[in-house]
Amino acid sequence: MVDALFLGFAVLTIVSAIAALEMRSLIYGSIALMGTLGGIAGFFILLDSPFVALFQIAVYVGSIAVLILFTVMLVKRELIFKMKEDRKRRYAGIGLMLIMMVALGSLLFSSGLPSITTDEPPVDYKEIGKDFLTYYWPALIVMGLVLAGSITGAIALARRVDGVEDEQRTD
Q: Residue 123: is its pLDDT beyond 50?
A: yes
- Burial code (b: 16+ CB inside 10 Å, e: under 16) for 99-136 equals eeeeeeeeeeeeeeeeeeeeeeeeeeeeeeeeeeeeee
CA distance 107 to 156: 47
Whole-model pTM: value is: 0.52
Question: What band does 4 get if pLDDT is binned at 50, 70 and 90?
Answer: confident
Domains of the chain by range and CATH? 2-80+128-170 (1.20.120.1200)
How confident is the model over 68-106, as pLDDT tens digits? 777 777 766 555 555 566 777 788 888 998 999 999 888
Nearest residue to 59 via CA among 38, 29, 30? 38
More confident of the two residues 115 and 21: 21
Q: Residue 98 class from Cβ within 10 Å (0-12 exposed, 13-18 middle, 19+ buried)?
A: exposed
